[in-house]
Amino acid sequence: MTSIKNNEGVRLVQVSPDHAGQRLDNFLSGQLKGVPRSAVYRMIRTGQVRINGGRARPASRLAGGDTVRIPPAQIRGERSTAVSERVREQLRQAVLYEDADLLVVDKPAGMAVHAGSGLPWGLIDALRQDRPGEYLELVHRLDRETSGCLVLARNGPALAHLSARFREGTVRKYYLCLMSGRMPEAVIKVDAPLARRRNDPEGRVEVDETGKPSCTRFRLLQALGDYSYVEAELLTGRTHQIRAHARYLGLPLAGDPKYADRKSLRDCRKLGLNRIFLHAHRLAVDSPAGEDLEFEAPLPDTLRRVLDTLER
């Protein structure tokens, strides 16, 4: 990867084949280590970061040979990104699968995948500190509140291959969730476009005919009083897709602070639920080596106890 710096401190970085297929925001976080994630997004949003001279979005995918314009940025002290041994050990125990191309971890609820929005570090930072010198890049994301299967690439070709599979929608993703209310049918497929709410500081999305195509299949596993224990299959991969589609059905996810109402949240706390009931429990993808791989993360004990309470 070549880098040229001008008199104003701007760098022009040529993307190497190892980073082909990577999202622009993740690439910048690697180039600007220690810079807050919020600052990275601001640089992209204001047009300071460009790909081949043109404006881009955080989710823009890079190709080998692209030239990325990177402005100078204020870097935080290294001390602020230090991750404790306890957290690193927690992630060692959370590894579900590992080979030469990919690493799959059972992401804990409450842990962001990357730094930003006031968070000095994320899961990717913790793993890189625990594995110094290793190539590790996020292939996709999970919301901070969501637990379960998260895939990381361990080399450039693997990143390009896996990113393409997620982008093409060929990765099969299944989540376990608890919906507030009774599902009227055993299987409900929601095919409804989603768009970000305007001027919403919470970053919520809603069904909007002008939005991006979004499709989720909900399958009832167990009716539990006024709740439905459900497996949700993501047929597309939009931000907050399951959460917004559940809300659209009038069945918001239990414990969801962004899409459920206050009464629902109070009722969930009485059940001992202090987080959103959403867990990425199963994921299937074809590996760079041509194998069909499937991973499964067990339901966390905190969520299992909620189900046990409802079954009594």
Supply the DSSP string of 239-266, one letter for each residue. TTHHHHHHHHTT-PBTT-TTTS-HHHHH
Residue 185 has pLDDT above 60, yes or no: yes
Q: Residue 64 has what pLDDT?
A: 86
How many residues in the chain?
312
Cβ 55 vs Cβ 47: under 8 Å: yes
Q: How confident is the model at residue 22 (pLDDT cuts 50, 70, 90)?
A: confident
Reported pTM? 0.80
pLDDT digit string, tens, across residues 263-301 = 999 999 999 999 999 999 999 999 999 999 999 999 999
Report how far Cα 142 is from the mean position of its chain's Cα atoms. Answer: 2
- Can you list the domains of the chain with their CATH numbers? 3-70 (3.10.290.10), 83-166 (3.30.2350.10), 169-311 (3.30.2350.10)
Q: Which two tokens stand for residue 7?
A: 């008199």
The set of catalytic residues is 143
Query: Number of C-alpha atoms within 13 angstroms, CB side, residue 256?
Result: 27
User: Rounded CA gap, 90 and 126, in Å?
Assistant: 10
Query: Number of C-alpha atoms within 13 angstroms, CB side, residue 235?
Result: 14
Which residue carries 């069945």 as its tokens? 251
Tell me the mean pLDDT in the region 28-39: 80
| ∠ Cα 297 250 191 (to 5°) | 70
The alpha-carbon radius of gyration of the chain (Å, integer) is 20
pLDDT digit string, tens, across residues 148-160 = 999 999 998 999 8
Residue 90 has pLDDT above 90, yes or no: yes
Q: Residue 278 has what pLDDT?
A: 98
What is the helix (H) or strand (E) element at residue 29, kind and residue range?
Answer: helix 24-31
Determine phi and psi for 173, rounding to 5 degrees. -125, 125
Contacts of 40 by beta carbon, 8 Å cutoff, 6+ apart: 25, 28, 29, 32, 58, 73, 116
Instruction: Count CB-CB contacts under 10 A for residue 222.
Output: 12
Among candidate residues 188, 173, 195, the one with its CA nearest the CA of residue 249 = 188
Q: Residue 78 has what pLDDT?
A: 44
Cβ 99 vs Cβ 64: under 8 Å: no
Lowest average pLDDT, out of 52-56, 79-83, 133-137, goes to 79-83
Q: Residue 117 has what pLDDT?
A: 67
Which amino acid is present at 185?
A: E
Q: Which residue has the higher pLDDT, 31 or 175?
A: 175
Residue 74 has pLDDT above 80, yes or no: no
User: Rounded CA gap, 265 and 271, in Å?
Assistant: 10
Residue 75 has pLDDT above 70, yes or no: no
Instruction: Count CB-CB contacts under 10 A for residue 60.
Output: 18
Among candidate residues 76, 68, 82, the one with its CA nearest the CA of residue 31 = 68
Residue 77 has pLDDT above 50, yes or no: no
